[in-house]
Structure 1
Amino acid sequence: MAGSLSEIKAKIISTQKTSHITGAMHMVSASKLTKSEQAAKDFQVYATKIRQITTDLLHSDLVHGSNNPMLATRPVKKTGYIVITSDKGLVGGYNSKILKAMMDIIEEYHNEDDYAIISIGGVGSDFFKARGMNVSFELRGLEDHPSFEQVGQIISQSVEMYKSELFDELYVCYNHHVNSLTSQVRVQQMLPIGDLDVEESEAPASANFELEPNREAILEQLLPQYTESMIYGAIVDAKTAEHAAGMTAMQTATDNAKNVINELTIQYNRARQAAITQEITEIVAGANALE
């Protein structure tokens, strides 16, 4: 019984140490989530403004149609997917949700040669490579609060691949942050640009802007920047969802550890009580034998 008591006590100490670690990780994730949510709000200010400028400049194109390659729909021979996952685990079902959604899309709509994956995050990269899937580019080691400079190269490369017709449409697949407990899988089309609505434009239909150097040159620079900013916004959103998932996972782990400690403590007390009862019984039996 002494061995059993020591084993239970060792399990209690070990579980307590684990709960301390998960509790600390929960606090770290909560801090990261707060900063990431603020970064997402700050980005929305910029995203709203660049969307408004783009819509105003494209007012007539949205009304009458456009031949701009960033806007025009062409026959789809190949589709590009930017898939955003984390670089490590301990984030609950964050990665499994997006990877399952991506696999469902590929199985339903694609064969081996008509899609390309641009992977952001080590978990997704390893997952796709292990299955021999088409990973054109990958980015690992993303910061907790990624700057545009860190992700700019892979974003601009994705846009250039579309402009070079290496694929004919581009989607971003990620977990959208709803709140600290909830995220939603999003598969959002980035190219060709199709989410601009003429009703959002504040420019009158008869507007005749004077532009330097000219409208076409401005759009040639603006439309790729608009797309790149939307992709960056999705990355910021996904990182926010990742921090929320990590916080929730660590809170759940801490709660489970506390439940295990309570159960082990009850077992320990029962075993200790049984050992004491056994010792008393043996003492009484020995005393009776001497009479």
Structure 2
Amino acid sequence: MASIKEIKTQITSVVNTKKITKAMEMVAISKMRKTEERMSSGRPYSEIIRKVINHVAQGHLEYKHSYLETRKIKRIGLIIVSSDRGLCGSLNSNLFRKVLFKIQNFTQKNIPCDLILFGLKSLPVFKLCENNILSKITHLGEHPNILKVINGIDVLLKKYQIKRIDKIFIAYNEFHNKMSQYPKIIQLLPLSRIKSETISTKRWDYLYESESKLIIDSLFKRYIESQVYQSILENIASEHAARMMAMKTATENSTERIKELKLLYNKVRQATITQELTEIIAGASAVSTG
């Protein structure tokens, strides 16, 4: 059985750990709220530009964009969005498990995968795929720089345009609420059209002030950039929510552990006092009978 001193040391250690986890929980709550606001404000833009793209795609375009072209899959691109830091439960591991399963399915069909990695936590997981990693983007922080994001994915988009990649996916954690975040893999390219009853079956075309090719190129590129940026914001919000829950659980476990250690401390202290009293009584009896 542990001594009283050892138990007191353990109690002190757990109390200090509880203070740290509680502080981290409060920080995660604050960061999650701010990131959730940015994420929510970006969703309407992403949704509207997606509808605009779909509307343009319904028209009779003289210029057929490569982003709408469906080709035979010989090589794919995969953008993986993870966090820079840990202590967020199984958030990253669930995402990586889903991504690795996806890569394995394509590998079995002899379809190689080129990767774009966001976040430090993805680097060791995909170390064996080093030859297929096109770029690594880390330390985006709480306010991701849009230019840094664009530069990171640009090499993949260029490979798609010259037909060296036939399909592009993005994997990230989608934020639902502070209790629920789900790993998600969606297809970025080629663009899939929205199925909606509000879109007419008729065809049309637009009049462009500038050359239609330049406008459509710019519009499609902005769409992809907005989708990737929104996915990163979703992942950051998910990270803070997962960390908040992980630290809350750790704090609750610390509280329970402190109760257990205090109970053990009292039992050991009581046993020690009982033993000392027994020894005193035994000694007194020996003296009186001697």
TM over 0.5: yes
On the 8 A contact 1:59/1:198 being kept in 2, the answer is no
8 Å Cα contact 1:159-1:228 kept in structure 2: no
Q: Which residue of 2 aligns with 1:105?
A: 102
Report what 1:141 is aligned to. 139
- Name 2:40's counterpart in structure 1: 41
Q: Which segment is superposed worse, 99-108 or 10-19?
A: 99-108
Report the TM-score when normalising by structure 2.
Answer: 0.91
Q: Matches of residues 162-177 of structure 1 in structure 2 within 5 Å?
A: 162-177=160-175
Aligned position for 1:17? 16
Following TM superposition, where does structure 1 have runs of at least 4 consecutive aligned residues deviating by more than 6 angstroms? none
1:117 partner letter: L
Q: TM-score, normalised by structure 1?
A: 0.91
Change in Cα spacing, 1:131 to 1:216, as seen in structure 2 (3 Å) is: closer
Residue type matched to 1:47 in 2?
Answer: S
Partner Cα separation in structure 2 for residue 131 and residue 58 of structure 1: 36
In the aligned structure 1, how far is the partner of 2:14 from the partner of 2:85?
A: 23
Cα deviation for residue 240 of structure 1 reads: 1.0
Is the contact between residue 75 and residue 167 of structure 2 (CA under 8 Å) also seen in structure 1?
yes
Moved more, 176-185 or 265-274: 176-185
Query: Does residue 4 of the first structure (1) align with residue 6 of the second (2)?
Result: no
Q: Which moved more, 1:267-276 or 1:159-168?
A: 159-168
Q: Does 1:114 align with 2:112?
A: yes
Secondary structure of the 1:60 match is coil
Kindly report which structure 2 residues correspond to 1:213-252, keeping only aligned pairs within 5 A, or say none: 213-252=210-249
Distance, in Å, in 2 between the alignment partners of 1:179 and 1:65 is 44
- Structure-1 separation of matches of 2:65 and 2:198: 20
Aligned residues of 2:39 and 2:234 also touching (Cα < 8 A): yes
Q: Is the 8 A contact 1:97 1:185 kept in 2?
A: yes
Partner SS, residue 136 of structure 1: strand
Which residue in the other structure is 2:124 paired with? 126
Shift of residue 283, structure 1, vs aligned partner: 1.5
Q: By how many angstroms is 1:274 displaced?
A: 0.6
State the SS of the aligned residue for 2:183.
strand
Change in CA separation of 1:197 and 1:214 when aligned onto 2, cut-off 3 Å: farther
- Among 139, 154, 157, which residue is 1:156 paired with? 154
Aligned partner letter, 2:92: N
The aligned residue for residue 69 of structure 1 is 66
**How far 1:80 moved relative to its partner?**
0.4
Question: What is the Cα-based RMSD across aligned positions, in Å?
Answer: 2.3
Q: Deviations over 1:224-255 (max 9, x none)?
A: 11111111111111111111111111111111
Shift of 1:165: 2.1
Counterpart Cα distance in 1 of 2:92 and 2:232? 14
Q: CA deviation at 1:207?
A: 5.4
Counterpart mapping for 1:183-198 below 5 A? 183-197=181-195
Q: 1:195 to 1:258 in 2, by over 3 A?
A: farther
- How many residues align? The count is 287
Query: Which runs of no fewer than 5 residues in structure 2 stay unpaired?
Result: none
Q: Is 1:53 aligned with 2:52?
A: yes
Could you say if the C-alpha distance between residues 58 and 106 of structure 1 is closer, same or farther in structure 2, counting changes exceeding 3 Å?
A: closer
Question: Counterpart amino acid of 2:191?
Answer: I
Q: CA, structure 1 residues 208+163, in 2 after alignment: closer, same or farther (shift >3 Å)?
A: closer
Relative to structure 1, is the Cα distance of residues 200 and 214 closer, same or farther in structure 2, using a 3 angstrom cutoff? Answer: farther
SS in 1 for 2:59: helix
Residue 70 of structure 1 aligns to a residue whose secondary structure is helix
- CA distance 1:26–1:195, change in 2 (3 Å): farther
Q: Does 1:92 align with 2:64?
A: no
252 and 215 in structure 1: CA distance in 2 versus 1, 3 angstrom threshold: same
Task: Measure, in 2, the Cα distance between the counterparts of 1:200 and 1:158.
Answer: 33
User: What fraction of aligned residue pairs are identical, expressed as a percent?
Assistant: 32
- Distance (Å, rounded) in 1 between the aligned partners of 2:203 and 2:21: 61
